[in-house]
Chains A and B, each alone.
Chain A
């Protein structure tokens, strides 16, 4: 991708930035970020197409095209539309949501070590979801239960950490304590549940996109449609929040309110993702770092890039787990096994201070 274009550089903007103005709307677009977003989007779409062709029942791209249009055989249509498509769309959506949620939490807490799975927000979502499963409530409420569970965990962490301000080290300790407690609660709930419920719960908790259906996809798409624009708009304020509460206040930002919005958005993103696919580790912690190493400090553009990278990671991991190994491995295992070494390699190479 190009960071410098041949267009004549104006005095006020470097060649790597374009200003877009339309009536009351005005934005600055960094070409490098825009380029990266485009490349990441192409990679995700490419992976999706490739993923559709893979499997015991191998299909060509032309057959897939036919299946999507409804002209292919009933078998092919069933495999593409009912089996493969929901699964890969789920992987894409879940990956992007987890990654964006990680970006939000790392941003508000100004701490590169936090992610919803480390500080117990995902564990809170798990408890919420499990309570629903073992009490045999309709599974349609699963996303709501997971979201509320995550939100309650976040609120508890925040309240226990608050001492006039939020200290990063304290928050991680509180979050880890919370995580341990909630994980214990999940185990307890499992032992108390009836065997049928318990096995369903265990299947959900492994963190897998296996067996996703169109209902899941619909929920995820609706959530993304609401949460991504919201998150991207909030990035505008988050950028200022990163200069510290004091500076944000002097710039006239309602700091507590913005932070509350950000936490709700972050909890919704991770809670809903967890409710569908179970807790998939590592994505939320790692992907925001990838994005920042590639594209610089967090902005709305980098936020979208984070989502796309998360989508590519989870989708790629699911493809590897499903097809590259003899046995079908849950996606969470692959994200950790693949992503972690590459992440460590990047860390040792990069000069970006975390």
Chain B
């Protein structure tokens, strides 16, 4: 019997950047033809590196990548590009380039210098625009598009290339729930309707399970498991891959498994639920907590653009609050206005019933700390020196290291579990460690109120849980009031006592998670279908989105109501 030969495969490849240690070792992997394959795994497991090797962007140190039975790096670039399209993780577009022009560049491998744009090229561009659903955006500059639209424009460019195989590197990163699903649906359609082979690196296990026929799970540079999604979506296996306990749950009516990563706090949550069931009283509902931070008719924005439009909201003291909403709904802007980082054009903000404009800068910084989404980290700096900068509002130029500073830094390192890392240079840390270090800095500031802007972005599942568990612990053991922007609805419901939902610069709903997060709310703020059901262990709401195209699923959900 002759063994079936797949068009694209990696044979015993070892991958490394420069002369450094190998990122992946002895990988053998066949891309199933005409299927959607996703590669999952924690940060730094080598999944993007493998994809880059498949795309001929890096040459393996040992082994070969075969395209149609021939070593890919021996084939000319243009020949490869006619058969293989790639969506890179970070795209760089020239300023002000319009969508159609960008998509047209995908035709490069089919063109030559003397014959620039044939009727065939034009037809391919039209088709790509249509498939990606951006025909009406063709004359818009790429940098003015929303995140989801921009990602679709880039995918359209890869589509115009008209390759039977498409490689996508984290196509859903930076996108909110609705935009993520927009892209996942597109991937599925490309496969079902066009018969293209798709390989996507994804960080969201549930998205991978939904979109793909074949899942490849990687850890520490090797392939741990491979198979159809239902085989890979097993708690023990997920634990081995991501190093975090996972439950796979199914909602009542809908037969779709969903993976939820768990931290230690589920037990406390579980107790709370049991208690509220037996007592019949909700701990939170009994006595409304006094607000730590309160905004009234707040209007804020950048230069001429108003982003937050008359928001009145109050955040309970001693609780964890989460702000959720789609991209560009004003979540981060609200947080910045609360932290006095943006001028407030109208309305007032009170911190512990005192208008925030009244206190001096340093005095305010001793009351309220904020962790920005991303900040430059000076290279070569040691972790402890970084954390110690959180002491700035307590220091003077001549009092740079008082015993109180020393104690606060010591404690911050201890609570965040970064004591062992203190003498490491910051660039040596992993994503999760770096985020814990940044939290430690905010903690060393010793403020009763802590604002966190998307503390889990850029982190994989295990690190996300690690950071959120830490936030919970800070609230419970240190009594901190935490207000954070989160993009994962399930995590927001699980880790916050109070949820604020925003859309178009306004607060749409606020309250306890199970009161706020409903199917109607998700539909209205994200504009997408989902089913919301209680977590069988903790009782907090779980949100399971599904595509509009999934009519079968839609019917089941409607019936179950």
Please tell me if the beta carbons of A25 and B399 are within 8 angstroms of each other in the complex. Answer: yes
Please tell me if the beta carbons of A251 and B379 are within 8 angstroms of each other in the complex. Answer: no
Q: Tell me if B29 counts as interface (CB < 8 A to partner A).
A: no
Interface residues of A in 1-33 (CB under 8 A from B): 12, 14, 19, 21, 24-28
Q: Tell me if A328 counts as interface (CB < 8 A to partner B).
A: no
Given contacts A26-B399, A26-B400, A240-B392, contact A250 B381 (CB under 8 A): no
Which of A21, A234, A297 has most chain B Cβ within 10 Å?
Answer: A297
Please tell me if the beta carbons of A164 and B339 are within 8 angstroms of each other in the complex. Answer: no
Which of B340, B376, B393, B405 contacts A251 (CB under 8 A)?
A: B393
Please tell me if the beta carbons of B369 and A250 are within 8 angstroms of each other in the complex. Answer: yes
How long is the Cα–Cα vector from A242 to B376 in the complex, in angstroms? 7
Closest to A164 in B: B303
Chain B residue numbers with a CB within 8 Å of A233 are 397-398
Please tell me if the beta carbons of B379 and A253 are within 8 angstroms of each other in the complex. Answer: no
Chain A residue numbers with a CB within 8 Å of B378 are 239, 242-243, 297
How long is the Cα–Cα vector from A217 to B384 in the complex, in angstroms? 42
Given contacts A164-B303, A247-B372, A250-B370, contact A236 B341 (CB under 8 A): no
How long is the Cα–Cα vector from A251 to B392 in the complex, in angstroms? 6
Q: Tell me if B390 counts as interface (CB < 8 A to partner A).
A: yes
Please tell me if the beta carbons of A250 and B339 are within 8 angstroms of each other in the complex. Answer: yes
Chain B residue numbers with a CB within 8 Å of A237 are 392, 397
How long is the Cα–Cα vector from A271 to B308 in the complex, in angstroms? 45
Please tell me if the beta carbons of B380 and A253 are within 8 angstroms of each other in the complex. Answer: no
Interface residues of B in 386-407 (CB under 8 A from A): 389-390, 392-393, 395, 397-403, 405-406
Chain A residue numbers with a CB within 8 Å of B395 are 236
Given contacts A239-B389, A244-B372, A297-B381, contact A251 B365 (CB under 8 A): yes
How long is the Cα–Cα vector from A352 to B403 in the complex, in angstroms? 32
How long is the Cα–Cα vector from A253 to B395 in the complex, in angstroms? 11
Which of B369, B375, B399 contacts A243 (CB under 8 A)?
A: B375
Please tell me if the beta carbons of B399 and A253 are within 8 angstroms of each other in the complex. Answer: no
Which of B379, B393, B401 contacts A19 (CB under 8 A)?
A: B401
Q: Tell me if A55 counts as interface (CB < 8 A to partner B).
A: no
Q: Tell me if B296 counts as interface (CB < 8 A to partner A).
A: no
- Interface size of B by CB at 8 A reads 42
Closest to B396 in A: A24
Please tell me if the beta carbons of B375 and A353 are within 8 angstroms of each other in the complex. Answer: no
Q: Tell me if A259 counts as interface (CB < 8 A to partner B).
A: no
How long is the Cα–Cα vector from A292 to B401 in the complex, in angstroms? 22
- Interface size of A by CB at 8 A reads 34
Chain A residue numbers with a CB within 8 Å of B361 are 252-254
Minimum C-beta distance from B354 to chain A (A) = 16
Interface residues of A in 205-256 (CB under 8 A from B): 233-234, 236-237, 239-240, 242-244, 246-247, 249-254
Q: Tell me if B445 counts as interface (CB < 8 A to partner A).
A: yes
Chain A residue numbers with a CB within 8 Å of B360 are 252
Interface string of A179-206 (1 = CB under 8 A from B): 0000000000000000000000000000
Please tell me if the beta carbons of A240 and B389 are within 8 angstroms of each other in the complex. Answer: yes
Please tell me if the beta carbons of A12 and B369 are within 8 angstroms of each other in the complex. Answer: no
Q: Tell me if A296 counts as interface (CB < 8 A to partner B).
A: yes
Closest to B427 in A: A353
Please tell me if the beta carbons of B379 and A243 are within 8 angstroms of each other in the complex. Answer: no
Closest to B451 in A: A250
Q: Tell me if A110 counts as interface (CB < 8 A to partner B).
A: yes
Please tell me if the beta carbons of B410 and A247 are within 8 angstroms of each other in the complex. Answer: no
How long is the Cα–Cα vector from A21 to B385 in the complex, in angstroms? 18
Minimum C-beta distance from B306 to chain A (A) = 15
Please tell me if the beta carbons of A28 and B401 are within 8 angstroms of each other in the complex. Answer: yes
Please tell me if the beta carbons of A252 and B380 are within 8 angstroms of each other in the complex. Answer: no
Q: Tell me if B362 counts as interface (CB < 8 A to partner A).
A: yes
How long is the Cα–Cα vector from A185 to B106 in the complex, in angstroms? 48
Interface residues of B in 344-360 (CB under 8 A from A): 360
Interface residues of A in 237-284 (CB under 8 A from B): 237, 239-240, 242-244, 246-247, 249-254
Closest to A11 in B: B410
Please tell me if the beta carbons of A243 and B400 are within 8 angstroms of each other in the complex. Answer: no
Minimum C-beta distance from A25 to chain B (A) = 5
How long is the Cα–Cα vector from A327 to B362 in the complex, in angstroms? 58
How long is the Cα–Cα vector from A21 to B302 in the complex, in angstroms? 44
Which of A19, A246, A297 contacts B341 (CB under 8 A)?
A: A246
Please tell me if the beta carbons of A353 and B400 are within 8 angstroms of each other in the complex. Answer: no
How long is the Cα–Cα vector from A229 to B378 in the complex, in angstroms? 23
Please tell me if the beta carbons of B380 and A297 are within 8 angstroms of each other in the complex. Answer: yes
Q: Tell me if B248 counts as interface (CB < 8 A to partner A).
A: no
How long is the Cα–Cα vector from A252 to B369 in the complex, in angstroms? 9
Q: Tell me if B224 counts as interface (CB < 8 A to partner A).
A: no
Minimum C-beta distance from A24 to chain B (A) = 6
Minimum C-beta distance from A290 to chain B (A) = 14
Which of A233, A249, A353 has most chain B Cβ within 10 Å?
Answer: A249
Please tell me if the beta carbons of B389 and A251 are within 8 angstroms of each other in the complex. Answer: yes
How long is the Cα–Cα vector from A296 to B385 in the complex, in angstroms? 12
Minimum C-beta distance from B20 to chain A (A) = 12
Closest to B402 in A: A26
Q: Tell me if B123 counts as interface (CB < 8 A to partner A).
A: no
Q: Tell me if B267 counts as interface (CB < 8 A to partner A).
A: no
How long is the Cα–Cα vector from A237 to B362 in the complex, in angstroms? 13
How long is the Cα–Cα vector from A296 to B384 in the complex, in angstroms? 14
How long is the Cα–Cα vector from A296 to B366 in the complex, in angstroms? 29
Interface residues of B in 500-538 (CB under 8 A from A): none
How long is the Cα–Cα vector from A11 to B554 in the complex, in angstroms? 60
Please tell me if the beta carbons of A236 and B393 are within 8 angstroms of each other in the complex. Answer: no
Q: Tell me if B108 counts as interface (CB < 8 A to partner A).
A: no
Closest to A16 in B: B423
Minimum C-beta distance from A11 to chain B (A) = 8
Minimum C-beta distance from B490 to chain A (A) = 28
Given contacts A12-B410, A243-B378, A353-B379, contact A253 B372 (CB under 8 A): no
Chain A residue numbers with a CB within 8 Å of B93 are none
Please tell me if the beta carbons of A296 and B381 are within 8 angstroms of each other in the complex. Answer: yes
Please tell me if the beta carbons of A27 and B364 are within 8 angstroms of each other in the complex. Answer: no
Please tell me if the beta carbons of B445 and A251 are within 8 angstroms of each other in the complex. Answer: yes
Q: Tell me if B377 counts as interface (CB < 8 A to partner A).
A: yes
Interface residues of A in 74-113 (CB under 8 A from B): 110
Which of A24, A234, A243 contacts B389 (CB under 8 A)?
A: A243
Chain B residue numbers with a CB within 8 Å of A25 are 398-399
Please tell me if the beta carbons of A253 and B381 are within 8 angstroms of each other in the complex. Answer: no
How long is the Cα–Cα vector from A246 to B335 in the complex, in angstroms? 12
Minimum C-beta distance from A173 to chain B (A) = 14
Which of A24, A234, A292 contacts B399 (CB under 8 A)?
A: A24
Chain B residue numbers with a CB within 8 Å of A234 are 397
Closest to B389 in A: A240
Given contacts A252-B361, A252-B362, contact A247 B401 (CB under 8 A): no
How long is the Cα–Cα vector from A292 to B341 in the complex, in angstroms? 31
Chain A residue numbers with a CB within 8 Å of B427 are 353
Please tell me if the beta carbons of B390 and A251 are within 8 angstroms of each other in the complex. Answer: yes
Which of B361, B392, B405, B406 has most chain A Cβ within 10 Å?
Answer: B392
The 6 closest A-B pairs by CB, nearest first: A252-B365, A252-B393, A252-B362, A251-B392, A353-B379, A250-B370
A-B contact pairs, 6 of them (CB 8 A): A27-B400, A240-B389, A244-B375, A246-B372, A250-B372, A251-B365
| Known A25-B399, A28-B401, A354-B379; further 10 A-B contacts with Cβ < 8 A | A24-B399, A26-B402, A164-B302, A233-B397, A239-B378, A249-B340, A250-B370, A252-B363, A252-B366, A252-B393
Interface residues of B (CB under 8 A from A): 302-303, 339-341, 360-366, 369-372, 375-381, 385, 389-390, 392-393, 395, 397-403, 405-406, 410, 423, 427, 445
